[in-house]
Amino acid sequence: MRLCVFDLDHTLVNSPLDLAAMALDMRALLERTHGPLPERGERYRVGELIAHCREKHPGLEPDLWALALDHERRAVADAWLEPGALDAITGARAAGFDVALWTNNAREVTTQALDRFDLARHFDLIVTRDEMRALKPDPDGWRVIAERFMHLTDAVVVGDSWVDGLAAQKAGVPFVAYRAREADLARWQIAPVARLDALTDLPAWLISRSATGSPGRSERGGVWGAMSGPPSS
């Protein structure tokens, strides 16, 4: 069994969702309630703020998620389909791959986006943050995927961000970078198996991969094809 796993935001569906603004609002709420966070050279990311809250101030976690959901709801109202998205999904299936979605978005917002563009029916599995224990770049979403697809011989993760690439890398799954920033990939030492400028190029690449019999192996050598779940990270 072969599997192609897609990210959602800025990969299949685009929107004005601003994760930096979301994180700033979440940090402000944390600091209003519990005092300032330590200063550092780069901004705190959403997943880091959630992890900090879960460890130090678990009672505030639902309020942080409510802030995140508010940002997502407003952004999805103005979402648009990424060019070539449907061709990539249906082309992956035509190439012999099952198709899954792995997103940090809430299921409510994910469902709204997929229904708007009639994409949900094309997926064998949809994994949102409601099913995960931790957001990407944590690989926990792959745990959910591996429980559903227990006899994989090959898989790839397709995404636009280092977050997707690092999650895939930690899970031992090859990463296909769609218009990802090279500086971010280099910083996090992510080596994609392919780089795409157009989603319409994905099906031909998958067909080529199938023809050459590429194994389920990441650039760092993680092998998962004979496993029922991801390697430990």
- Asked if the model's pLDDT at residue 21 lies above 60, the reply is yes
Looking up residue 142, the CATH number of its domain turns out to be 3.40.50.1000
Residues 147 and 184 in one domain: yes
Per-residue pLDDT reduced to its tens digit, 123-147? 999 999 999 999 999 999 999 999 9
- Asked if the model's pLDDT at residue 108 lies above 70, the reply is yes
What is the per-residue pLDDT for 215? 54
Residues 124 and 199 in one domain: yes
Q: Which of 26-35, 53-62, 107-116, 221-230 has the lowest mean pLDDT?
A: 221-230
Output the pTM of the full model.
0.87
| Top mean-pLDDT range of 34-48, 93-107, 211-225 | 93-107
Q: How many CB atoms lie within 10 A of CB 155?
A: 25
Structural domain for 54, as ranges = 19-76
Classify residue 45 by its DSSP letter. Answer: P
Per-residue pLDDT reduced to its tens digit, 176-216? 999 999 999 999 999 999 999 999 999 999 999 988 876 54
Instruction: Assess contact for 25 and 71: CB atoms under 8 A.
Output: yes
Q: Which of 57, 76, 95 is the last residue of a domain?
A: 76
Q: How many CB atoms lie within 10 A of CB 200?
A: 15
Closest among 63, 3, 230 to 132, alpha carbons compared = 230
Asked if the structure places residue 231 within a domain, the reply is no
Residues 6 and 56 in one domain: no
Asked if the structure places residue 228 within a domain, the reply is no
Residues 166 and 59 in one domain: no
Asked if the structure places residue 218 within a domain, the reply is no
